[in-house]
Amino acid sequence: MRVFLTGATGFIGSRIVPELLAAGHQVLGLTRSEAGARSLIAAGAEPHRGDLEDLDSLRDGAAKSDAVIHTAFDHNFSNFVANCEKDKRVIEALGGALAGSDRLLIITSGVGMGSAEHGQPAREDVFNTDHPNPRILSEFTGAAIAEKGVKVSVVRLPQVHDTVKQGLITPLIAQTRAKGVSAYLGEGRNRWSAAHVLDVAKLYRLALDKQEAGVRYNAVAEEGIPVREIAEVIGAGLNVPVVSLSQDEAADHFGWLAMFAGLDLPASSEWTRAHLSWQPTGPGLIADLKQMDYSQAAAA
């Protein structure tokens, strides 16, 4: 299958490329730069020049392909709401190119969208339409284009990690370095789920091969790691004290991360594992954080 992959040069997308190629697929990878095009060619993919702001370039990539995996996102969190709206336009454009065909569009979301009951792990069969994260717009848009005849499935992600990058933990490390203390809120018992980036890449490939629409997958290897444990390993890595903060102190310490710092985000992948025969093999988040080179990591 020829797969149009947005975000092909990103942390996760660049790991999806070899996973797809090894399974016998061809990859048309979106890139907005010459350097990105060169790296895609070196990886064995075909570059497709375009931009999330240039919707025609996205329609064109989708039109040339048998399926689309959408992982690109503008991660400038100071513009998070606007960037979620941009993702809506992108999903609509990709959907517009695929409507009425049997070509699958896989979009990306976060595991939090499946959390409904307090303290219970998020699940694939739950869509919490009241979730306060503006990223919920991606899933609303996926549902809207499905109504118009697009085959859509959703991959929901936790903190995706290796020994270099770890989702929200990467900016958290930068913030810890800037503040000189590693912090958690209250007792730090709120949990974040996680998965290794290679396991996540494999899951996208299995979802593609399954060709099923109308389903959500939780790419979760570890159901919930207490944030206090994460703060402790970062504190040890950066050699700074580890402290508990009150809610009132959160905004000053965490900056834009304050909206995530206290969230309890456990998530289950029981259904995904069974449905896709997906067996994550790790390593785990804490192991990767222990192995990280903190002299390089998230240097501000």
Ligand X SMILES: NC(=O)c1ccc[n+]([C@@H]2O[C@H](COP(=O)([O-])OP(=O)(O)OC[C@H]3O[C@@H](n4cnc5c(N)ncnc54)[C@H](OP(=O)(O)O)[C@@H]3O)[C@@H](O)[C@H]2O)c1
* Residues at the contact surface with ligand X, assessed by CB under 6 A: 7, 9-13, 30-33, 36, 51-53, 71-75, 108, 110, 157, 159-160, 167
The nearer residue to ligand X, 51 or 209, going by C-beta atoms, is 51
Per the DSSP assignment, residues forming a β-bridge with 74 are: none
The nearer residue to ligand X, 65 or 245, going by C-beta atoms, is 65
Q: Which residue is nearest to ligand X (CB)?
A: 10
The nearer residue to ligand X, 218 or 245, going by C-beta atoms, is 218
Burial (CB < 10 A; 0-12, 13-18, 19+), residue 179, is middle
Which residue's structure tokens are 């501000």? 300
DSSP assignment of 45-81, as one string?
Answer: PEEEE-BTTBHHHHHHHHHT-SEEEE------GGGHH
What one-character DSSP code corresponds to residue 135? Answer: T
User: Contact, 261 vs 250, CB < 8 A?
Assistant: yes
Kindly state the smallest distance separating residue 167's Cβ from ligand X, in Å: 3
The nearer residue to ligand X, 111 or 245, going by C-beta atoms, is 111
Kindly state the smallest distance separating residue 9's Cβ from ligand X, in Å: 3
User: Contact, 109 vs 115, CB < 8 A?
Assistant: no
The nearer residue to ligand X, 112 or 235, going by C-beta atoms, is 112
The nearer residue to ligand X, 169 or 245, going by C-beta atoms, is 169
Token digits of residue 67:
């399926």
Kindly state the smallest distance separating residue 168's Cβ from ligand X, in Å: 7
User: Across the chain, where does the E strand assignment appear?
Assistant: 2-6, 26-31, 46-49, 67-70, 104-110, 151-157, 159-161, 182-185, 191-196, 216-218, 222-226, 242-245
Kindly state the smallest distance separating residue 160's Cβ from ligand X, in Å: 3
The nearer residue to ligand X, 164 or 258, going by C-beta atoms, is 164
Kindly state the smallest distance separating residue 169's Cβ from ligand X, in Å: 8
User: Contact, 46 vs 29, CB < 8 A?
Assistant: yes
CA distance 282 to 161: 10
Kindly state the smallest distance separating residue 86's Cβ from ligand X, in Å: 8
Kindly state the smallest distance separating residue 101's Cβ from ligand X, in Å: 23
